[in-house]
Structure 1
């Protein structure tokens, strides 16, 4: 089994490790020269962005060839999935990737503009129970695509339309770097886009931002901040994943 994942603060990597098999980082695959993969089972695990898939995952889907009788998709999310799973299944189909199983997994939400990480940690999300179900489903080669309501579908379409009309809504122009930055370079190492350089001993952003917020969440000094966020002191790293693993995955 081969499992492909994209992660910023560890949730999707944590899930990918639970499935086992050969694990591939999507950013690293895109930097390489191998784009054809075959196996008895192939998994794709990534977070929900805007009730759909991150841009880097879309680029992966457009570029690779996946040959398998059983392809499964797990979309991690923090509060609402809307029509994201079904949107992705259709997107994959348009790129000749045929999905047999697709579902979501509720986890901690690291989207700092809207959610306070500390409050998120207090919510019961039954992640372990739901993950056990997903693992069992895939182990049994179950065929299933998560249902969506009309409202869910319209939410996803609406948000995606908004992002197309407002391409500068989520960009690195929203970030600021405080004087408490100690030039450790962690932000450079965790960026999946190679979008950050240390310029005059401070992080400088290049405008090619995934808005995954890895640089902000994983800064040891909490020196990188958003102009607007619910709790500037709250940051997140999945407890089952190390910073070293995320650096290896994204850079």
Structure 2
């Protein structure tokens, strides 16, 4: 179990069963700031279901096996005043699981001191047709204003490679495995360097395995990070989950600090 007490202003975490993501999650959450230094947490989650808009915010708390995680209602309301369409597709939160996993991890970390959350889903239209949606810059500007001077943590929940027959894709040979690992690491390097354009350019199909699963979240995180942020990779693994068909998942952790 990790304990909060680090300097992070933003984190990238995977989502999934703890036995799968734990080795990546632990060193990443160890950098999270203590609860008394966090007024709210913006949780960016991956939405793999159809949606017309790039983002969807929710103004309700999340209930998990660890209890009720409060919603930062005032922050959500302020975001919606700036970008009214953010609440139009809130129903998408009913079927998306990445934010729920992240909230569960954060509840485990913070316990009864869990800060309120701003749940924000990032959909496929964030970067459809190889370009960023106009809403990406709109959200980045709004979040910059909301985060400026605030005691806030951004927690992005996304994975990279989803490869192999388990995900409806071809079997990977060693060359294919090397290719997806290289793509994942190049994306992480672009995030470390704060190069949002490179994140989009590098998020391509490799070895017939499709784009990175969480590319919309990764691009949004890149646009959200402060220009003076210092970002590092806390962990990266290409793992094989249990299942009937073979598959591989690229799991990564990032820690970003400012000031």
**TM-score class, shorter:** 0.3 to 0.5
**TM-score in terms of structure 1 length:** 0.35
Task: Give the number of the structure whose residues are more often helix, by fraction.
Answer: 2
Q: TM-score, normalised by structure 2?
A: 0.34
**Which has the bigger relative contact order, CA under 8 A and spacing at least 6?**
2
